[in-house]
A and B are shown apart, each in its own frame.
Chain A
Amino acid sequence: MLKALLTRARQGHRTMRYPAAAPPPLPAHFRGAPRIDPARCPDGCQVCIDACPTEAISLAGDTIALDLGRCIFCPECESACPEGAITFTDDYRLATRTRADLRLQAGEERKLADALDAKLRSLFGRSLKLRVVSAGDCNGCASDVNVLSTIGWDLGRFGIQYVASPRHADGIVILGPIPENMRLAVRKTYDAIPDPKLVIAIGACAISGGIYAGHPEQHNGAETMLPVDLFIPGCPPHPLTILDGFLRLLGRIEDRVVRAT
């Protein structure tokens, strides 16, 4: 017992102050929102498009467009581009309310997730219970969704909690592309949640199928089956990106528009 108390004293208080204070530092090579600088693109160059494993980059007129819903935030485009026209910034804020807001063109502003409407905020704003369903997720997204429950992040202080039963839930979180073998389980879980309910898709797989898009064994993510209210891109998204998404949805973070380039 004495040892336990001593260890407790040494481990100290570890819950971060974010969002009241600055977020925890991000790692050196962190890949957040990408930045496109079309001025640097040589004519007819398609190196980044060819390097992208998920067809997230496409030609849009004389510039390129980027689909953050498909992007797995791998370094391939950045390392392939000889001109530095595409780079990853350390902007961790990525969540949106619509799929369209994830499709970016160089020079456009990025529109981050709006809060729920007043009625839903009055229902969920101070208590949001989520049933997380891993459906083909590689345990990357599951791990960083789970980590928000640990003491460093302490998701409970925002009134957000992961629950075991869909009957106790206000919404479903989908991780993974939804394999055919999970389709029925996802459907039943969703149906078991009482109305009104939210659907949150976390990670490239749950948003677009990610690297598995097009495989006949899966369904290209949540949107093909359910009405999605919040998209949190990444592969997997950093815990800070996920938390930022949750808090925006509940109207606890206000800045909604950031420069894309």
Chain B
Amino acid sequence: MNGDLLIRRNAEPAPLADVPLVPMTAFQSAILDAVRDDCRVVSYFAREVRDAIELVSVVADDATSELGFVRTRLSDSRFEALTPQCPQVHLFEREIAEQYGIEPVGHPWLKPVRFQRPLRAGRDFFPEPVPGVTDFFRVEGDEVHEVAVGPVHAGVIEPGHFRFQCHGEHVFHLEIALGYQHRGIERALIGGPTAKTIHYMETVAGDTTIGHALAYAQAVEALTATKVPARAHVLRGIALELERLANHTGDLGALSGDVAYLPTASYCGRTRGDYLNLTAELCGSRFGRGFVRPGGVQFDLAADRIETLAERTQDATRDTVAAVALLWTTPTVMERFENTGTVEADACEEIGMVGVAARACGRSIDVRHDFPFGIYRFVHIPVMTAHHGDVNSRAFVRWLELQRSASFVAAQLHTMPTTPIRADVSASLVPGSIVASLTEGWRGEICHVAITDPHGRFARYKITDPSFHNWFGVALALRNGQISDFPLCNKSFNLSYCGHDL
């Protein structure tokens, strides 16, 4: 990696002063060099330092498990945008403009991300934002028309606005405007941790409670030099994989429903619930609320319940596998899945997609493998990829992954270490530090970056849900497709609205 980067591992803290503070040109070339060497930008954000604005970036090298940190200070309320040379930062730079009122000059499509008020009071780059009211790319011409969908959608799903440029059924372009779910999480995290912090983390994206709570717990453990007991690592791993099992199963059922193949839709709708109930057996909540806490986990698994849990996991997986297997031999399903919503591998890399959607384009990236954390440092789950970047590939990656997750859960249940489940965590965080904590949620890479102030409180806490990277992928998947395929394409990504909107 470039000499201007401070290198750390996943969830390894560093004094903030050790992160090179370099001029803007060196900051940008450090990022560009890293991206040229196949690194990805996992976090890139602004923060206020007295009267100045500091930009912080974290790049990740999947091949060497290294995270590179670099920062710069702005003397002006503008800087030259990096996006034209590095498309994967396009949304990060829009976010920087919206949150801190500074302009990335030359950004090709500078508009609000969440229609939020700035984190830096009085510095509105987009004054009086009204959700959905902004420029949209328009195609003009005979019989070209625009279709607007949302924010309220037909199903029981979160809100977002989708703007299609169409010619009949044919989609030239889709633009997605989000922000309807904005609840002000990042603003509320500053000055923490407080009694509320863990609960914000559990509801950043409520279907990814374990993924986000774990990323937060790792960050706090790093900043308090806490050693997590082995049994807690195993229990966290089981919970994270159960979360993946529930969501992958639900998604495969919903994809099946979207192409009107009801058997798989019905069975998976039920077995998804079986996995949620297994999570509830761990902690009382179907979504894993209350389970992960800094230092370990809050509930132990009694020895006499392990066998029942293992059996129930096996039963649910047997039924899920049988239900999903029907998809691959049903011509009407294959006809709809294959070659629908294709994202090219080059585009996937260029826009920095992560998780299931990236692996479906052939990118072999998975935080569990590339930046191993917790139990994944000792037990390895193979990275599953597919190669067409279409709905079928995204479905197939889920199918492969859920079988690996089920084997992992079964194996771990039977090899539980007999340590305590939670270590004491110091009440104060190391002051003046930075840490990047990554986990692989069921959608993909979750990245939390915490910076502490001189009193050991959060000066800034940046959350990047995988959805933040991947929403643009949905837009690309629709290009030159049929508008009637939109629900299917959207479900094949199944991104989080609240995880994006924060």
Interface on A for B, CB 8 Å cutoff? Answer: 3-4, 7-8, 10-11, 14, 27-31, 50-54, 72-76, 79, 88, 132-147, 149-152, 162, 164-165, 176-177, 179-182, 185, 189, 211-212, 215-218, 235-236, 238
A22 to B443, CA, bound (A): 36
Known: A28-B281, A150-B269, A215-B184. 4 other contacts (CB 8 A): A138-B203, A143-B206, A151-B269, A179-B501
Enumerate chain A residues within 8 angstroms of B196, measured Cβ to Cβ: 53-54, 211
B287, A140: Cβ atoms under 8 Å? yes
Q: Interface 1/0s, chain B 165-184, versus A by CB < 8 A?
A: 00000000000000111111
Asked whether any CB of chain A lies closer than 8 Å to the CB of B83, the reply is no
Contact of B286 (CB < 8 Å), options: A139, A144, A151, A189:
A144
A10 partner residues in chain B, CB cutoff 8 A? 319, 322
Partner of A189, one of B117, B152, B204, B497: B152
Nearest-Cβ distance from residue B308 to partner chain A, whole angstroms: 10
CB <8 Å contact, B287 and A142: no
Contact of B498 among A76, A137, A164 (CB under 8 A): A137
* Stretch from B30-38, B153-161, B349-357 that touches the partner: B153-161
Contacts of A180 in B (CB 8 A): 182
B183 touching A217, Cβ below 8 Å? yes
Complex alpha-carbon distance, A8 and B267, angstroms = 9
- Using a CB-CB cutoff of 8 Å, which residues 253-300 of chain B contact chain A? 263, 266-267, 269-270, 272-273, 276-277, 280-287, 289-290, 298-299
Q: Is the CB of B199 within 8 A of A53?
A: yes
Chain A residue contacts of B319, Cβ below 8 A: 10-11
5 pairs, A vs B, C-beta closer than 8 Å: A7-B263, A140-B206, A182-B151, A185-B159, A211-B200
- Which residues of chain A have C-beta atoms less than 8 A from B154's C-beta? 164-165
Give the 6 A-B CB pairs with smallest separation, nearest first: A138-B206, A29-B284, A140-B206, A217-B184, A27-B280, A150-B269
Tell me if B115 counts as interface (CB < 8 A to partner A): yes
| Closest A residue by C-beta to B269 | A150
A27 touches B281 (CB 8 A): yes
Shortest CB–CB separation between residue A56 and chain B, in angstroms? 12
Residues of A within 8 A of B207 (CB): 138-140, 143
**In contact, B183 and A177 (Cβ under 8 angstroms):** yes
Contacts of B183 in A (CB 8 A): 136, 177, 179, 212, 215, 217-218
B206: chain A residues at CB < 8 Å are: 137-141, 143, 236
Interface string of B181-212 (1 = CB under 8 A from A): 11110011000001110111001111101000
Chain A binder among B8-16, B60-68, B323-331, B337-345: B323-331
User: With A27-B280, A140-B207 in contact, do A7 and B199 touch (Cβ < 8 Å)?
Assistant: no
Tell which of A88, A133, A217 has the most Cβ of chain B within 10 Å. Answer: A217
Partner of A150, one of B114, B157, B198, B273: B273
Interchain CB contact under 8 A, B179 and A181: yes
B269 touches A7 (CB 8 A): no
Assess whether B182 is in contact with A7, with CB atoms less than 8 Å apart. no
Chain A residues, Cβ within 8 Å of B276: 147
Say yes or no: B263 contacts A185, CB within 8 Å: no
Closest Cβ of chain B: how far from A63's Cβ, in Å? 22
Minimal beta-carbon separation of A205 from chain B (angstroms): 8
Given the complex, which residues of A lie within 8 Å of B272, measured CB to CB? 147, 150
Tell me if A211 and B156 are in contact (CB < 8 A).
no
Inter-chain contacts of A3 with B (CB < 8 A) = 325-326, 329
With A181-B180, A216-B184: A162-B156 Cβ-Cβ less than 8 Å: yes
- Within 8 Å by CB of B326, from A7, A147, A211, A238, lies A7
With A and B bound together, what is the CA distance between A23 and B234 in angstroms?
32
Option from B152, B158, B266, B269 in Cβ contact (under 8 Å) with A137: B158
The answer for the CA separation of A226 and B114 in the assembled complex, in Å, is 25
Task: List chain A residues, Cβ under 8 A from B117.
Answer: 216-217
Bound together, the chains give a CA A138 to CA B430 distance in angstroms of 31
B417 within 8 A of A: no
* Cβ-defined contact, A142 with B158, below 8 A: yes
Do residues A30 and B181 form an inter-chain contact, with CB atoms below 8 A?
A: no
CA A108 – CA B152 in complex, angstroms? 40
Query: Which partner residue on chain B sits nearest A213 by CB separation?
Result: B196
Most A C-beta atoms less than 10 A away, residue of B195, B276, B285 = B285
**Chain B residues whose CB sits within 8 angstroms of the CB of A7 once the complex forms:** 263, 267, 322-323, 326
Residue of B nearest to A203 (CB): B206
Q: How far is the CB of A21 from chain B (nearest CB, A)?
A: 18
Query: Which residues of chain A have C-beta atoms less than 8 A from B194's C-beta?
Result: 53
Closest chain A residue to B261, Cβ basis: A4
Is B116 engaged at the interface, CB distance under 8 Å to the other chain?
A: yes
- With both beta carbons as reference points, the residue of chain B lying nearest to A28 in the complex is identified as B281
Contact of A133 among B152, B329, B497 (CB under 8 A): B152
Distance in angstroms between the alpha carbons of A135 and B200 in the assembled complex = 16
A138 touches B498 (CB 8 A): yes
Q: How far is the CA of A143 from the CA of B305 in the complex (A)?
A: 27
The answer on a CB contact under 8 Å between B284 and A8 is no
CB-CB nearest in chain B for A74: B290
A4 touches B330 (CB 8 A): yes
Q: In the complex, are the beta carbons of A11 and B323 less than 8 A apart?
A: yes
A71, B272: Cα distance in complex, Å = 27
Residue B496 is within 8 A (CB to CB) of chain A in the complex: yes
CA distance A132 to B207 in the complex (A): 18
Once the chains are docked, how many angstroms separate the CA of A218 from the CA of B497? 16
Known A-B contacts A211-B199, A217-B183; A235 and B289 likewise in contact (beta carbons under 8 Å)? yes
User: Which among A27, A147, A179, A189 is the interface contact of B181 at CB below 8 angstroms?
Assistant: A179
Contact A75–B298 (Cβ < 8 Å): yes
Q: Using known A-B contacts A139-B205, A181-B182, A211-B199, determine if residue A236 contacts B269 with beta carbons closer than 8 Å.
A: no
Question: Is B131 on the interface with A (CB-CB < 8 A)?
Answer: yes
Nearest A residue to B496 by beta-carbon distance?
A139
Residues of A within 8 A of B151 (CB): 182, 185
Select from chain A the residue with minimum beta-carbon distance to B299. Answer: A29
A134's contact among B156, B199, B200, by CB below 8 Å, is which?
B156
Q: Give the distance in Å from the alpha carbon of A115 to the alpha carbon of B276 in the complex.
A: 31
Within 8 A of A (CB), among B192-244: 194-196, 198-200, 203-207, 209
Q: Pick from B152, B157, B188, B280: contact of A142, CB below 8 A.
A: B157
User: What residues on A are CB-neighbors of B116 within 8 Å?
Assistant: 217
With contact pairs A79-B298, A136-B181, A139-B207 given, residues A31 and B284 touching in the complex (Cβ less than 8 Å): yes
Determine the residue in chain B with the shortest Cβ distance to A177: B183
CB-based contact B263/A4 at 8 Å? yes
A8 to B326, CA, bound (A): 11
Would B131 and A72 count as touching, CB distance under 8 A?
no
Measured between alpha carbons, how far is A176 from B270 in the docked complex, in Å? 25
A179 and B182 contacting across the interface, CB-CB below 8 Å: yes
CB <8 Å contact, B157 and A211: no
Give Cα A164–Cα B131 distance, bound, in whole angstroms: 22
